[in-house]
Chains A and B, each alone.
Chain A
Amino acid sequence: MKPKVAFFDFTGCEGCQLQVISLGDELLQVLGLIEVVNFREAISDKRDDYELAIIDGAISTEEDIKRIKAIRKQAKVLITIGACSSLGGVNCIRNFHPKEFLLKAVYGEQAQHFDTIPARPIWAEVPVEYQVRGCPINQGEFLKVITAVLTGRQPVIPNYPVCMECRSKENVCLFDKGMTCLGPVTRAGCGAICPSYGNFCWGCRGLVDDPNETSEKELLKKHGLTPEQVIKAFRFGCGFLEG
């Protein structure tokens, strides 16, 4: 019997689900191993007899909390995909503004119809077995995690900084180009894709387990920056951890 799999989205852009749909030929191979019973972005079937739930997006309403708890109750294994589910993602920017201000700004006089709570990652509400990080997820890493889960192995996710991958690509260090970058403390696994395309690392995969704070502070000091400035500029990736 193929394991039954459901995809559910919470607050986010659904780009991570699109990354799954865009797998192409590998998607067909994955589909050969599983039975998809619920996937709003691609199919209209909606069954609730799943064993494996793949979740993207962040928690941002009381309703979301109820829904994720119900999913957790049904699913034997929960995999979250993307920065919103693992860090809260861009949604956490709003946590730094008063709720009344935000509701009025977005919904005006009708704001009372819309409930909202500070955005948070999935693991802040229910236990999560596996996380595929990144904004958006890296397709290769998704395949690695899903095949590991299906074959009962533990996927190996890098726990060293993006700088390691960036150096091996022979990129010029962005600090030396006068830019600020979160590569030194961010978990690798993305292949340093942003620095390789001339842009800085936003920290969308979250911190490594044991970031070298002393050396990061020295690096910032050397380039005339303070940790506070950097934290403010990079709320996108790490807003929930800061809160």
Chain B
Amino acid sequence: MISSRICGICAVAHSSASLRATEAALGITPSEQTVLLRKLNLDGEMLQSHILHIYFLAAPDFLGVGSVIPLAETHPEVVKRAIRMRKLANDLCCTIGGRHVHPISAVPNGFTKLPAIEDLLVYKDKLEQSFEDLNASVELLKGVKLTVFEHPTEYICLTHHDEYAVYSGDILSSVDGITPLPEYKRKINEQVISYSTAKHAHTGQGSFMVGALARFNNNYDKLKPQAKQVAESLGLSHPCHNPFAITVAQLVETVHFTVAAIERIGKLAEQGIREEDRSYKIKAGQGVGAVEAPRGTLYHDYSYNKAGEITAANCIIPTAQNLANIEFDMRAILPEIWDKPREEITLTLEMLVRAYDPCISCSTHMLEVEFE
């Protein structure tokens, strides 16, 4: 419960990574129903977060207005569509967890209150109808001319043999393949930087990228066909090394997670939702949980004593992982735009940072919490 408070923007991801770390430490295996509901909740969060970024933060750049507020005057239909799409994703999360910002009912080994399948089926219909808005979003991005910038880096995300990984899997790097999740510290090093309260992360190779474009590059094969079609129609080649295309990859994922959510609700309807035994035993142990948050892989690592108290905790946050790569990109793009007017340089750099969709709320550290 405390863990979701690290970030209000991706509260479901924090809550899910935290539950997975606790379950790994205590040796709990949640039921198939619990896993399906958690994945559906993550689908919903991915949708609401990507739509927020595409429409509220990136679209004003694309449409040449200062921010989303003047956008509401110049392009009211665009803002109304964004609000409609976000509300749908938000309401889906509320139905599962009680609310999106800081879910209530998601606890170790299950849910304190289960959603009614009839309520979820309403969202299946609404998600199916949302393709009209998704197509309009594709048209919006089609008109955008992205800054041309080729800058390969190492791409890292979770990977899973069954699906486009979001809830579980091992760590996949575009450079050196798979690292088992419990050994995450072998792959990712966090360092304190004297000029920032946010730590920076590196691998043996240097800086790296996590998030929508990293997932698109690494797990392209597992994307739903509808999402691949959208990638093709938007000219997003695979792999893509242009960080400005992160927003495009987010829209591709928005289509993917819409399809995934529809399928998951279908599966839950087939199986029916029933009350399950949520009991578990407290024991000492250590465990790592990771999920794909909208902005990238999120790691939680807890140690428990035999009274069930957390004695040590470590969280590695997506934005902290991307920070070093943002600086890496900035150093590379500066010589290319050196001779442009000042305003253009500033805007290009701002758009580069914005493309990463940095989440300023949780990229500062608040760790080694001990609570009873």
Seen from chain A, the residues whose Cβ lies within 8 Å of a Cβ on chain B are 9, 12-19, 21-22, 24-25, 27-28, 31, 36, 40, 42-45, 89-91, 93-94, 97, 102, 105-110, 113-114, 135-136, 193-194, 196-199, 202, 232-233, 235-236
- The chain A residue sitting closest to B97, CB to CB, is A197
Report the bound CA distance from A136 to B360 in whole Å. 18
Q: Are A31 and B72 in contact (CB under 8 A)?
A: yes
Q: How far is the CA of A28 from the CA of B57 in the complex (A)?
A: 16
Kindly state the interface size class of chain B when it binds its partner: 35 or more
B residues 314-372 near A (Cβ < 8 Å) are 350, 360-362, 365-372
Min CB–CB distance B300 → chain A (angstroms): 15
B interface secondary structure, majority: loop
Q: Chain A interface secondary structure, helix, strand, loop or mixed?
A: helix
Name the contact of B102 in the complex, choosing from A15, A45, A107 (C-beta under 8 A): A15
Nearest CB of A to B285, in Å: 20
Residues of chain B touching chain A, judged by Cβ–Cβ distance below 8 Å, are 1-2, 5-9, 11, 48, 52, 56-57, 66-69, 72, 79-80, 83, 86-87, 90, 97-102, 104-105, 107, 111-113, 192, 194, 197, 350, 360-362, 365-372
| Known A28-B72, A97-B370: A13·B7 in contact at CB below 8 Å | yes
Given A19-B101, A90-B2, A97-B370, 20 more pairs with CB closer than 8 A? A12-B8, A13-B9, A15-B102, A15-B361, A18-B101, A21-B56, A22-B90, A24-B87, A36-B69, A40-B360, A43-B69, A89-B5, A106-B365, A107-B365, A113-B192, A197-B97, A197-B98, A197-B105, A198-B112, A199-B105
Q: What number of residue pairs across chains A and B have CB atoms under 8 A from each other?
A: 130
The smallest beta-carbon distance between A83 and chain B, in angstroms, is 9
Taking CB atoms, residues of chain A closer than 8 Å to B366 are 91, 94, 106
Residues of B within 8 A of A16 (CB): 8, 101
Q: Which residues of B contact A21 (CB under 8 A)?
A: 52, 56
CB distance from A77 to the nearest CB of B (A): 21
Contact A198 B113 (CB under 8 A): yes
Partner of B9, one of A14, A25, A233: A14
Q: Which of B52, B197, B350 contacts A44 (CB 8 A)?
A: B350
The reply to whether B9 and A106 contact each other, CB–CB distance below 8 Å, is no
Q: Could you tell me the distance in whole angstroms from the C-beta of B368 to the nearest C-beta in chain A?
A: 3
Residues on B with beta carbons closer than 8 Å to the beta carbon of A25 = 83
Contacts of B365 in A (CB 8 A): 106-107
Q: B8, A14: Cβ atoms under 8 Å?
A: yes
CA distance A9 to B362 in the complex (A): 13
B102 touches A135 (CB 8 A): yes
Q: Give complex CA distance A233, B11 in Å.
A: 22
Would you give the shortest CB distance from B112 to chain A, in whole angstroms? 3
Query: Which of A13, A14, A42, A199 lies in contact with B56, CB distance below 8 A?
Result: A42
Of A18, A94, A113, A235, most B-chain CB atoms within 10 Å: A18
Bound-complex Cα distance A230 to B349 (A)? 50
